[in-house]
Copies of this chain bind each other. A is one copy, B any other.
Amino acid sequence: MKANVVIVEDDPLVAAHVGRGVEAHVGLSLVATTGTLAGARALIDRNVDLFILDLGLPDGSGIELIEEIRARAGLEPKILVLSVLGDQDTVLAAVLAGADGYLLKDIDSLDIGQQAADALTGGAPLSPSIAAYVLRHLRRQREDAKPDDADPPLSPREIELLQLLARGYSNRQAAAELEISPHTIGDHVKSIYRKLRVSNRGEAMVRAFRSGLLRL
């Protein structure tokens, strides 16, 4: 059983080249080629195993198409992006929308058939420069969420108070809850602000979340 492949590409030369690559590969069957978003939409519900698509189409962005394909329940065709657009925003948008692979047109597409086969078997062919964006993005998220429990840790009392503040308690209310003086609450709050390096309640909450002191 050969995999059904659809090519979405407005440049006839590129489309033809990719088409040859697909047909040269055993296991792949080129069932259609279209140059527009509209044409591709008409094919979504057909029995397609793999879309190889360009992002810059005359009637819109291929990213829309990715979203539409992924919105279909039940269908899980693979999507391999083949684009000249290598900027970080475009790449991330495509990947987050659900692309299974992202290849730049500047690579030697001699083995486009192999790349397509990789995609079909659960792999994610990425051009190295594309992969660099993705990895960078991954690591950035990691570092954003980490860097500050090492600053100055809050004392147990301060954490206790912080959780009350997160629930909207005023200093006075927190004082009643903890059965201490409102002045002392004020002191603890000052202390929290100093340790978190903020100067008001809102920012303190934000930092508390980002530090993992408060949970979602």
A residues whose Cβ falls under 8 Å from a Cβ of B: 95-96, 98-101, 115, 118-119, 122-132, 134-135, 137-139, 141-142, 144-145, 165-168, 170, 198-206, 209-210, 214, 216
Contact = CB atoms under 8 A, between A and B. Distances in A.
B132 A134 contact: no
A168 B138 CA distance: 27
Given A118-B128, A125-B128, A139 B98 contact: yes
A121 B57 CA distance: 30
Number of copies: 2
A14 to B, nearest CB: 21
Nearest to A129: B123
Contacts of A118: 128-129
A107 B199 CA distance: 55
Contacts of A131: 101, 123-126, 131, 134
**Which 6 pairs from chain A and chain B are nearest by CB?**
A123-B128, A168-B203, A124-B131, A201-B202, A205-B205, A118-B128
A145 B216 contact: yes
A73 to B, nearest CB: 15
A146 to B, nearest CB: 10
A53 B99 CA distance: 29
Given A138-B96, A142-B96, A210-B216, A203 B132 contact: no
A206 B167 contact: yes
Q: Which residue, of A99, A125, A166, A202, has the highest number of chain B Cβ atoms within 10 A?
A: A202
Contacts of A119: 128
Nearest to A128: B123
B202 A204 contact: yes
Contacts of A123: 127-129, 131-132
A205 B132 CA distance: 34
Nearest to A126: B131
A166 B203 contact: yes
